[in-house]
Amino acid sequence: MSKSNTTGMDHEDFRRCGKDMVDFIADYLTNISERRVTPEVEPGYLRPMLPRNAPEKGESWEDIMKDVERAIMPGITHWQHPRFHAYFPAGNSYPSILAEMLSSGLGIVGFSWAASPACTELEPITLDWLGRMMSLPACFLPFNPAHDNEPEISIANTDCDSQHSGGGALLGSASESILVAMLAARTNKMKSKRLEKPSIEDGQILSKLVCYTSKLAHSCVEKAGLIAMVKVRQLAVDEHYSLRGKTLDECIQADKQKGLIPFFVCGTLGTTSCCSLDNFEELGQICRRENLWFHVDGAYAGAALICNEFQYLIKGFEYVDSFNTNPNKWLLINFDCSCFWVRDKCAVINAMSVDPLYLQHKHAEKATDLRHWGIALSRRFRSLKLWFTIRSYGVEGLQHYIREHCRLAKVFASLINEDDRFEIIGDVVFGLVCFRLKGKNKLTQKLLLCLNDSGQIHVIPSMVNEIFFIRFAICAKDACEYDMHIAFQIIQTHADGILFEYQKTTSSTSILKSLS
């Protein structure tokens, strides 16, 4: 059927094309390994392939899908490909895709309880499920077992003196979670400084505020500081790439000497560079003593907390004021889905809330309006993805997924270790292995280029303390041992070529030196 009209699709078209689309996606994901991992296009490839102007008349579904194959697919980086080992996983699973479809189909905008009660109410319930799966401290879980008999709706906007005043919400990204935490901490600190000295101007306080994080923290901490207009100290890490209390304390004391005002510390559970862990207990004790807001960013590795054997990571969380993790990285949920928990939700609401008449509603006293938790007013029905995925897999299914990724990382690391031309950087704890060719950085740089140019595999680099290395992340949902062996073979083959070239151009003595 070809159609040229002004009404887009009707209900019957949608039934037909929707089923087509489901088939298209299932075919794509079934046959994905036949493709190159990365596309071969150059920047600007798409413009000459598409018309200059939007079509005057509506086009048919068939024509649009033809162009998906012709113009879009050649420019796709296949994040779900079994040879995709770059960044961190882009979570995805069929239940999550279907929940996303339902969310689109409902077409709601859930900024307040009244704007869609189910959207507002499912979100804290799923956050609570996940928080309990991770055994987060009770202060983050307003519906904790001790209060199971209380009506859950009592967690209201105005309920700021409630004894269980923590909670969680879904935001669009870890960057947003960290910014919101920082803004809440900033508002808190400015308020207490004004109480100490009522004549002081906000601008005077602002110019003195300092936050602290490790130099391996994600760049979004620096960006949050830029937006919040506060100083950010990126502190040195120890030999395990961990930010330690002593380093933090020394910097805080030096800043206080200068008349500056420390207010916020961001620790990382699983750095992007090499998945290292800061020492939350040491950092937390200092935050408690100095009255600083303590945030922990567990964008990727936080998901591991759902497995008992990773519960040791939660040590020091009794000091944590807010925590974020992205199920859209490592919990099979497609982008976007970033969980943000806070000990005192009023601190967030105080920092973020405005209340114009057109958004007020008669249930405001009784229900949480999630618009007060983030920057945007409008909110997607994201919790459907969590709800569908957690229910489809069950806690056990999700634990199995995490454990498989961690196991496969160890399998890959042992292959690397068996070849003495390579070395591992950092500890292999989660689904990430950092490795390099022994010797000069340029060998590993060359290897990285060759691997990515080949289109057989996709990896990205990182650099810590001047050491250049390749990050190998287990990403594919159904990754298996075979994938580890294939990836290692590809890496070995390219390493053979590079070392052979290198030997040709260097005298044997200098190789020995550079390899030692």
Q: Which residues make up the interface to ligand PLP (CB under 6 A)?
A: 88, 173-175, 218, 220, 268, 270-272, 297, 299-300, 326, 338
3-state SS record for 293-314: EEEEECCCHHHHHHCHHHHHHH
Direct distance between the N- and C-terminal alpha carbons of the chain, in angstroms, rounded to an integer: 68
Q: Which is nearer to ligand PLP, 175 or 452 (CB)?
A: 175
Q: CB 382 → ligand PLP: shortest distance, Å? A: 13
Q: How many CB atoms lie within 10 A of CB 259?
A: 7
- Measured from the CB atom, the residue of 188 and 213 that comes closer to ligand PLP is 213
Q: Which is nearer to ligand PLP, 123 or 297 (CB)?
A: 297
β-sheet with 422-425: strand ranges across:
422-425, 432-437, 467-473, 460-464
Query: Minimum distance from CB of 178 to ligand PLP (Å)?
Result: 7
Kindly state the smallest distance separating residue 297's Cβ from ligand PLP, in Å.
5
The residue among 93 and 338 lying less far from ligand PLP, judged by its C-beta, is 338
Q: Cα(200)–Cα(486) distance, rounded to whole angstroms?
A: 64
CA distances from 257 to 209, 250, 254 (A): 13, 11, 5
**Pairing outcome for strands 261-268 and 209-214:** parallel
Closest to ligand PLP by CB, 174 vs 205, is 174
Q: In the block, which residue shows the tokens 């947003």?
A: 176
User: Using CA atoms, how far apart are residues 55 and 59, in angstroms rounded to an integer?
Assistant: 8
Alpha-carbon gap, residue 490 to 512, rounded angstroms = 25
User: Residue 273 Cβ, how far from ligand PLP at the closest point, in Å?
Assistant: 9
Closer Cβ to ligand PLP, 275 or 349, answer by number: 275
Angle, nearest 10°, between helix axes 117-133 and 383-418?
Answer: 30
| Cβ distance to ligand PLP smaller for residue 81 or 218 | 218
Least separation, in Å, of the C-beta of 214 and ligand PLP? 11
Shortest distance, position 56 Cβ to ligand PLP, whole Å: 38
Residue 310 CB, nearest approach to ligand PLP (Å): 16
